[in-house]
A and B are shown apart, each in its own frame.
Chain A
Amino acid sequence: MCLGIPMQIVAIDGYNARCTAKGVMRDVSLFLLQDEPLAVNDYVIVHVGYAIQKMTEQEAHSTWELLDEMLALEAGEADAAESS
């Protein structure tokens, strides 16, 4: 439940932002980061629809890569579990 996904801000409207992660678009609340200067193209980590912290582009990309590896592992495990 405490998993967070790095996303890039595409558009900002008040406390709401349109964000993207590897082609997936989501509406994200910036309410918890309202005291942080945020701009389009910035990266944030998103948990249950809320941005909880800013991060750098490099950190976002390396986290995506590592999450991808994890998901691939989990998919593999799930297949193995199904067929066992």
Chain B
Amino acid sequence: MTLTAQDWLDKIRALPPTRRVRIMNVCGGHERSITMAGLRTALPANIELIPGPGCPVCVCPEEDVYQAMQLALRANVVLVAFGDMLRVPVNVAKGEPRSLEQAKAAGADVRPIASPREAVLIARQHPQRQVVFFAAGFETTTAPVAAMLLEGVPENLFVLLSGRLTWPAVAMLLDSDTPGFDALVAPGHVATIMGPEEWAFVVEKHHMPAAVAGFTPLSLLAATYSVLRQLLEGECFLDNCYPEVVRPGGNRTAQAQLMQALHIVDANWRGIGIIPASGYALNAQFAAHDARIRFADFDTAARKHAGQMPPGCDCARVVLGRIYPNQCKLYGAACTPRTPIGPCMVSDEGACRIWWAGGIRERATGTVPP
């Protein structure tokens, strides 16, 4: 018999009451489903679902966005990027364009794309121009970028890569004195590519329950039930609640392509800092297509607030799950999707944007429970 979302909810409610349990997700898609389906209010009050580092746009370094804008403003450049990168603000002096969208309004040729294949197409259509593909994303999105490179790209296509691995940010939180959560729901499509085993460290090293989930309320509730049962029984294991596409070992072809085109480097996460071995860079064989090599670096040490979140913005703590979105003092006041201050209110995967779209208008008082 197949269980419905309601069945899983009933099973969760039938569990013996526990102390407060904080379950972190690390995927904007998970957070969107949780918020839109109203899972927080449906679950018993002692179960908290915390959005963690699950938004690649939110942690994309400020200097990378700045670099993309400066390249876009060159006459011969077409800058293409996934749509929700376009409104991410950087820290510049008043009057200067502060996002790719504003650079476009100032005359830059900036185009949103939905697939790396569109970047190739645009480069083929404009052989006389330099097409820069600003690619931010986690493993699920970075594997297609690797595939694009290996399949062969036109000479005039350059990649400004801000690819990130998901698990190192979770490892960093778990290695800290205050991880801030008691169980993990691991991201389904990252695990589809990389294999669920990547998350085994949560269980083996940190003895914390973990379950891979898909993107429907059904799969998320199954994962929630799984980690609660694990906590109650005191026995942790890595559960797979998205077996439809998450296979043992993941997609090995995609993993091989990632390693053939790219290598893993220490990488900066906006507002958070360098996380060791958490980013991707192009391999030497693709140096001719590496925008970081082909173009001058516009980011200088003299830039004010370089690398940081905008002044007053608490996105970094939202990304780390240290506070809920509506505990930022800018939430819903100075910062709304219409006039976003920080990247979490811009991206479709940003927790602030998702909570706002889910109808949460009130700011929470008090501070977050450590």
- Residues of A in contact with B (beta carbons under 8 Å apart): 1-4, 15, 27, 29, 31-36, 45, 47-50, 52-56, 59, 63, 66-67, 70, 73-74, 77-78, 80-81, 84
Contacts and interface: CB of A to CB of B under 8 A. Distances in A.
> Which of B56, B147, B252 has most A Cβ within 10 Å?
B147
Interface residues of B, number: 50
B37 A49 contact: no
B180 to A, nearest CB: 22
Given A32-B257, A77-B357, A1 B244 contact: no
Q: Is the interface of B mostly helix, strand, loop or mixed?
A: helix
9 contacts: A1-B29, A1-B84, A1-B349, A31-B151, A35-B252, A36-B253, A49-B117, A63-B214, A78-B357
Given A66-B218, A73-B37, A52 B359 contact: no
A66 to B, nearest CB: 4
B57 interface: yes
B36 A74 contact: yes
Contacts of A55: 244-245
Contact of A4 (B147, B189, B357, B358): B189
Contacts of B151: 15, 29, 31
B138 interface: yes
Contacts of B319: none
A33 B245 CA distance: 13
A63 B192 CA distance: 15
A66 B217 contact: yes
Interface in B200-243: 214-218
B138 to A, nearest CB: 6
